[in-house]
Structure 1
Amino acid sequence: MLHSALADDLEVALASHDGLVTTAQLTELGFSSRAVSRAVATGRLAPLRRGVYADAAVHAAADPEERHVWRMRAEAAVAHKPLVFSHASAAALHGLPFIGDAPGRVHVVAETRSGSNSAGRCVHTTQSPVRPVVVEGLLVTSLERTVVDLALTASFAAALAAADRALALIDADTPAPLLETLESLQPTRGLRRALRVLRAADRRSGSAGESLSRARMIELGFEVPELQVRFDRPGGGVSFVDFFWRRQALIGEFDGLVKYSRSRELNGMSPAASVIAEKRREDELRRQVRGFERWTWDDAISPRRFGALLSDFGVPRA
């Protein structure tokens, strides 16, 4: 246990610095190296990197994307000059989705070589002006630049999910703003893969899982369906479906398996009532088409599994 005075000082320090403190700040408060080690051992502080600690309780409750932002803040706290975060790190601050695990290192960009890669930091050098923006107190590449960087370097699925979300955030009906940013960067590598991503981007994608599903359809050579198609309900009202292959009269839906348990998505209904309502909706839709299929994240993340599912469902090849 920490001495009560030190414990109170630590609470103040964490509150004053948004839950993050450095060794230098702790030393100023009178913490010895032993006291810091004790705070870590007792679960009060969580080490983010050498010389930087977070409020352990808050850090433990954070999701992977939020924890990555904590690591970005830790790197910024000890950097000798301001860092400009990029790629997946900038994506985390812009609220773009991740496909797969959060990156192990934070990503930064510089117009000239500024430091080297390390266990906690990946440095990208660019010949183009960066022109960063400030998000939550950190310097990051712009939303459009972030998406283009991902399109040039990330997997097709990860980049498409980011591009889909970005178009919704900037309220763009076409990928023109992203293509303009790509053109301004004049990349020498990855241009073809980036064009493939950006030309396929669609703001109508309703979730990262839907973007992943569409990415797999494109990669595997299946016909790309219409998105968010409206169906009138017999008793009144409408339903929008994730995917619709009109010529085959097939409906496909990505099921994240969370919408029946997250209270903010239930519109006041209990989980059981939500399941019943969704079953009724599905039955109504099935009567209007020739086929209806659901799949989960585990299905879509596996190319072989998802390809077999689409083939068995009757989705044609492009």
Structure 2
Amino acid sequence: MSLIHPSPLTLLTSRESEAMGRRPSSDPSLIRVRHGIYAERSEWRALPPWHRYLARVHAAAVKLGGVVFSHESAAALLGLPVFGEPQFIHLLDPVGHARRFGDVIVHAGCGHRGITASAGVAATSLADTAVDLARTLPPAYGLAVADAALRRLESEGRAVDFDAVADRQHTTRGKRRLAWVAENATPVAESPGESVSRAVIGWLGYEPPELQVTFAFEGSVDRCDFFWRRWNVAGESDGYGKYPTDPALARAALLREKKREERLRRSLSDMARWDWDDAHLVEPLDQKLHAAGLRPVTRRNEAALATMWALRPRR
């Protein structure tokens, strides 16, 4: 069952904070998350952007009450990938009309969407959220959300047909973008970085790699993110969603990764590694694949690669 993720920090209403003897207007240790909703400033500052957004969504749930969240807001609640800290809170109104007030965008409901609810907070279902975002996000990000949704649904023993979900929504918005995502989505990808990289690799004209291939070597069983069997070359995407956020756990994971890579390199012709920025900047990823011995087999899709421009990391 797909559960609603809780707020990553405790949210206090004005009344609750004042009952604790803390006036939000004069207490510097509190930060306003939404009008009338506060949190500990130190806890807020420690959150990554996507968790701040999740907290903002929960604050909106407290203030607005009885609403259904959609798009990036639903993704945050359902634990699907959220990129950075989105500006807007997204709601679904099944019977009303599209509108916007403040930082809230209300999407008019058309057709049928499944709803997931827990502890008084409701969001569109995993499948509907993935389809909504496949229509509206840049394609590489839409693919990352769809991959994650498929992976979660598969782990729950459920199958989904994105085309059937799209038909029930009764809208043609983003039809071509959705068709591309539905055709390329897979539950095998294990992180948003892998999904975004896979999109860029295809647009650069490289042969589609096998995903999560297992190697038994030197008494160990290792996997690589990408494998081009014809060239005996592996690829690894580092970064977003890859390593634990706890420093000690991250160090241990990096040490294990170093030993794993050394074993793999002894059985491969070569191995390319890249990070989140490389995939977004496109050319660094292309150069690393080329240096590992890979060559494009089709022409670059410049129109698709151009969608990465707006997503490029700020320097």
For the aligned pair, the TM-score class normalised by the smaller chain equals: 0.7 to 0.9
Which residue in the other structure is 1:38 paired with? 26
Q: Does 1:208 align with 2:187?
A: no
Contact 1:68 1:103 in 2 (8 A): yes
Letter in 2 for 1:305: P
Larger Rg computed on CA atoms: 1
* Equivalent residue for 2:150, pick from 167, 191, 194: 167
The answer to whether residue 111 in structure 2 is matched with residue 128 in structure 1 is yes
CA contact (8 A) 1:94 1:135 kept: no
Matched, 1:102 2:82: no
- For residue 265 of structure 2, what is the amino acid of its counterpart? R
| Pairing of 1:60-79 with structure 2 (within 5 A) | 60-79=45-64
Match of 1:223 in 2: 207
Q: 2:297 maps to which residue?
A: 317
Q: Which has the higher contact order (CA 8 A, sep 6+)?
A: 2
Deviation of residue 248 (structure 1)?
1.5
Q: Indicate yes or no: 2:174 matched with 1:190.
A: yes
Task: Give the direction of change, closer, same or farther, for the CA distance of 1:116–1:184 in structure 2 (3 Å limit).
Answer: closer
**1:69/1:89 contact within 8 Å kept:** yes
Query: Which amino acid counterpart does residue 316 of structure 1 have in structure 2?
Result: P
Structure 2 residue matching 1:230: 3-state secondary structure = strand
> Bigger CA drift: 306-315 or 47-56?
306-315
CA contact (8 A) 2:98 2:108 kept: no
Q: Once the 2 structures are TM-superposed, how far is the Cα of residue 91 of structure 1 from its aligned partner?
A: 0.5
Per the normalisation by structure 2, the TM-score is: 0.80
3-state secondary structure, aligned to 2:100: coil
Aligned mates of 2:178, 2:44 — CA distance in 1: 34
Unaligned runs of 5+ in 2: 1-8, 299-315
The superposition leaves residues 227-269 of structure 1 with CA deviations (integer Å, 9 ceiling, x where unpaired) of 0111111x21211111001112111111238469744466xxx
Query: Which ranges of structure 1 fall in alignment gaps of 5 or more residues?
Result: 1-17
Looking at structure 1, the residues matched to 247 and 44 of structure 2 have their Cα atoms a distance apart, in angstroms, of 21
1:306 aligns to 2:289 (yes or no): no
Give CA-to-partner distance per residue, 1:21-47, whole Å, 9 cap, x none.
3335557x4979xx33112xx21x211
Partner of residue 5, structure 2 = none
Query: Is the counterpart of residue 289 in structure 1 residue 271 in structure 2?
Result: no
Q: CA RMSD in A?
A: 2.8
TM-score by length of 1: 0.80
Where in structure 2 are the equivalents of 1:125-164 lying within 5 Å? 125-135=108-118, 137-164=120-147
Tell me: CA distance 1:265–1:304, structure 2 relative to 1, closer, same or farther (3 Å).
closer
Query: Which of 34, 42, 67 is the equivalent residue of 1:49?
Result: 34
**Percent identity between the aligned chains?**
34
SS in 2 for 1:140: strand
